[in-house]
Structure 1
């Protein structure tokens, strides 16, 4: 495999090893976030805080990450790709150690904000490093490794987080990041390289001085952070009935509407929306947004179904997601091999159809399913992701000049981040609102003057038990409705695949 002008691999270092190194960072970041989500109640009790305060542990991270993402592409170019990436990994590791030593809920929230800021720099740099290091026709293999980290982290994170919360101490969710972070930093120092093409671009940027499109950055940072806050806290705070949610929505939408207009007119924009004149990254960003919503939205509600309605503990609920992701891990290398050989729209089309079918099947879930049957539903939901993520990541760099690849990485990171936030918020909101709606529809059937009600009382033994049965039925119907809506949303995206054109070629790498 020949070296490329912007390769991040030192001479003699296999390019796929570089893809593995940067994917390793993503693995322990996603494990940390998803593992933490199932341990919030334990953390709240340990630090003597309310559930609302513990939720801020997640919100602070997401808002900080969203705010810094627009700056990440510019920072990678100004400070140098290798130094910037290593500093971000090191900062995430240090912040993880501080989180593990947190003495109060306020200190933990602050250290999580530092974690989110560091993670934003990693996310934008990793995909551009892979795109630059591997020849265009081989990028699929690199992004397959990256995709394995993206899928594996959310799958095993809840298993690890649930087990630690129940059998050890929540602090170990963060302590795990320290040795893995040290290993990642060491590997990056020894193996990564900024070649002449990258160093020249950095020198040119620094020659202009510390000139930054501050207004453009603020528009993007405030807009993305505000919307992330709204999506994460909206359902908890009753959406627009709360003034903070209402004002954050107005501010966020206003900033995001002005952001591309300002950046298109700016002489030296912090993010270059002109990149979307190339339809490959434009369509890829839209589809990866939908994929992010599915990849992170579904795992947010499946544990609720398993724990609240089926009586699973947090470890077993996490195990369902982990086992469901196993076939995806085996499929990703095959997808990586096929990427560049088979048209992207064909691979992604099969993936979207597979995920849609999986969601449709899940819309028929019911409480009496066995553990193995639940795992099969989880596999059906996630299997198609293996055919989607890798080709779309590779497609987003087709025809993108080397000097703009950090920008492409920034947009893809924003798409995954915001897609996950939107997917989670919509899934949780539809779930809770659906439960209320279905209960209101079922309660009239519980009239004492109905023969069915008298039969149900005899069956369940008491009115209280019968009321619980109604709650369970309403919840299951709501879960079914959410899965059906997700299936419809995925089907609605299929026409976009016809606009995907082009295959990676050796000439693309030299662009």
Structure 2
């Protein structure tokens, strides 16, 4: 079944004035060229996804070296996230304006330049400016890597192409903190940026050598200046609100309230403008397609829950279980084993099976993993922590590829860059929101559990267990104040452990609930072919 007939007629997007002509068709790549192209695109994708998380563990070193507070240092992360969130949905328009291959290679080269400038930054102000530049130029890289990769494979192997893409997207955020910590400890923090230079230059040269003759070329398209301005305003305000909300106690802060109002009003004006403009900078009409709407929603909510828990687990291990950053990274690293092993099988079979069934496996798998984690306690051994981490890799293998098949179902080739950019924008934004909301929820639940534990201890004139713990501290030479402080630390450890298991349990229920959303999308007969393949193979 072709991509253009995969969806029901009722789902066809509303007609648009001055529809762009179809892009010229290019045959799939063959042999060594396809392998080299996949390597180049995967390296570029891995590099840009890695940079979303590699700086996280280096903030203390960056702040100390540049003479600023850790709170000011977090703007190194925030500035990149804001700029990247604004740039990603512009991919569709930029592709028409410059051509997809030219745009991708230029983005990679400029990303290399920005990375080198970040490493050379003499102060926090210049580092933040260069990170904004880095975030802006990296925006089109992830969506266009999808588009170019799909165009490199024949329709029958498009699922495999998406599996290869998904592996780099899912593994990079896990590797980022581990690699960033090692580079910072053993070299210095600028190397978290310098490492991009050789990788990016190699990826850019290899991509250009293979794809330069496969570019439909640029077209003159009007600039939607009003839409661009509104996008910058509401996305920027929302991203800053999400990043700074926990630090500023959310809506108890006037700054957060103002940002929320600006984001909401800006979004409403943006929505009205883009849906009525003849040449919108972001094609929101894609949400008129049921599969795109429901698939993007399911992917984004699931990714927000997934990423929020990816952040929480190492935080809990390091802050309350006594793990070092290196050990926390080593414990979480095995998540990639089953993901890498099973992704090729999923990619090979996504065109033969209903992707809704494969996505259901992913969501129920995540639900099982999080249910297992909800039984953790302060005495949990590393082996028990490792088991759900390994199993999570299997769920990850079934996550991206089937959902991308649903999202791209029925799209035309010229819609692919815009669809990829828009769905990735929503996913990335959901990841940022999920991280902030889940860390806030963790703190709130910990405060509640702490208060309940203290009340239980103080209500009965301290039970025998409490007295026994205090006696052990006294026998070890602790003063009364030191013993009480140590006891409070144990209460905190217990409270934060109970809180993190609450979050794990709630997250597991959310994943199970999302299965219903998947089954509201269009069915596809086994053997009908992957929708992404049909959409991308015509390039």
Task: Sort the TM-score into its range (normalised by shorter chain).
Answer: over 0.9
Aligned counterparts of 2:213 and 2:82: Cα–Cα separation in 1: 30
Q: Looking at both structures, which has the greater relative contact order when contacts are Cα pairs under 8 Å and sequence separation is at least 6?
A: 2
- Cα separation, 1, equivalents of 2:447 and 2:309: 20
Are 2:58 and 2:184, in contact at CA under 8 Å, matched by a contact in 1? Answer: yes
TM-score, structure 1 as length reference: 0.92
For 1:308 and 1:136, how far apart are their aligned partners in 2?
Answer: 48
Q: How far is 1:228 from its partner?
A: 1.3
| 2:257 corresponding residue in structure 1 | 246
Q: Which moved more, 1:39-48 or 1:213-222?
A: 213-222
- SS in structure 2 at match of 1:34: coil
The match for 2:38 is: 19
Partner Cα distance (2:414, 2:340) in 1: 32
Shift of 1:64: 0.7
Residue 163 of structure 1 contacts residue 314 of structure 1 at CA under 8 Å; is this kept in 2? no
Give 1:400's aligned residue.
Answer: 411
Show CA shifts across 1:212-232 (max 9, x none): 122222222322222111111
Of the three residues 123, 126, 144, the one matched with 1:104 is: 123
- Once the 2 structures are TM-superposed, how far is the Cα of residue 464 of structure 1 from its aligned partner? 2.1
Partners of 1:457 and 1:116 in 2: CA distance: 52
How far apart in 2 are the matches of 1:135 and 1:416?
A: 27
Residues 99 and 178 (structure 1), Cα distance of their counterparts in 2 relative to 1, 3 Å cut: same
Name the counterpart of 1:496: 517
1:80 matches 2:85: no
**8 A Cα contact 1:43 1:170, kept in partner:** yes
The verdict on how the C-alpha distance between 1:52 and 1:7 changes in structure 2, with shifts beyond 3 A counting, is farther
Q: C-alpha separation between the residues in 2 aligned to 1:221 and 1:469?
A: 46
Corresponding residue of 1:288 = 299
> Any stretches of 5+ residues in structure 1 without a counterpart?
none
Please, what TM-score do these two structures have when normalized by structure 2? Answer: 0.88
Q: Out of 456-465 and 107-116, give the one that drifted further.
A: 456-465
Distance, in Å, in 2 between the alignment partners of 1:419 and 1:236 is 19
> Partners in 2 of 1:315 and 1:450 — Cα distance?
38
Question: Is the 1:140–1:336 Cα contact (8 Å) retained in structure 2?
Answer: yes
Out of 45, 67, 71, the residue aligned to residue 52 of structure 1 is 71
State the Cα RMSD in Å: 2.1
Q: Deviations over 1:21-68 (max 9, x none)?
A: 212111112223322111111221122210101111100000111122
CA distance in 2, matches of 1:276, 1:79: 25
TM-superposed deviation, 1:373: 2.4
Shift of 1:16: 5.2
- Please name the residue that 1:379 is paired with: 390
Counterpart-to-counterpart distance in 2, 1:130 and 1:499? 28
Q: Distance in 2 between matches of 1:470 and 1:327?
A: 36
Q: 1:71 to 1:449 in 2, by over 3 A?
A: same
Aligned to 2:281: 270
The answer for the alignment partner of 1:450 in structure 2 is 462
1:229 aligns with 2:240: yes
- Tell me the secondary structure at the aligned position of residue 51 of structure 2: helix
Residue 341 of structure 2 aligns with which residue? 330
Q: CA deviation at 1:266?
A: 1.2
Say if 2:229 is the partner of 1:215: no
Counterparts of 2:31 and 2:496, CA distance in 1: 57
Which one is further off, 274-283 or 183-192? 274-283
Given candidates 466, 469, 491, the residue that maps to 2:490 is 469
Question: Structure 2: 5+ residue runs without aligned partners?
Answer: 1-22, 475-482
1:358 equivalenced with 2:369 (yes/no) = yes
Distance 1:34 1:323 in 2: 18
Report if aligned partners of 2:101, 2:214 keep a CA contact under 8 Å in 1.
Answer: no
- Structure 1 residue 316: deviation in Å? 1.4
Pick the aligned partner of 2:502 from 481, 498, 505. Answer: 481
The residue that corresponds to 1:124 in the other structure is: 143
Q: Residue 240 of structure 1 aligns to a residue in which SS? A: helix
Relative to structure 1, is the Cα distance of residues 58 and 68 closer, same or farther in structure 2, using a 3 angstrom cutoff? same
Helix, strand or coil: the match of 2:171? helix
1:336 and 1:390 in contact (8 A); partners too:
yes
Matches of 1:115 and 1:421 in 2, distance apart? 18
Pairing partner for 1:413 from 402, 414, 424: 424
Does structure 2 retain, via aligned residues, the 8 Å contact 1:38–1:162?
yes
Q: Confirm or deny: 8 A CA contact 2:33 2:210 kept in the other structure.
A: no
- SS of the equivalent of 1:33 reads coil
Q: Which residue is 1:184 aligned to?
A: 203
Distance 1:124 1:277 in 2: 20
Offset at residue 253 of structure 1 (A): 1.8
Q: How far, CA to CA, are the matches of 1:194 and 1:478 in structure 2?
A: 55
Distance 1:138 1:469 in 2: 54
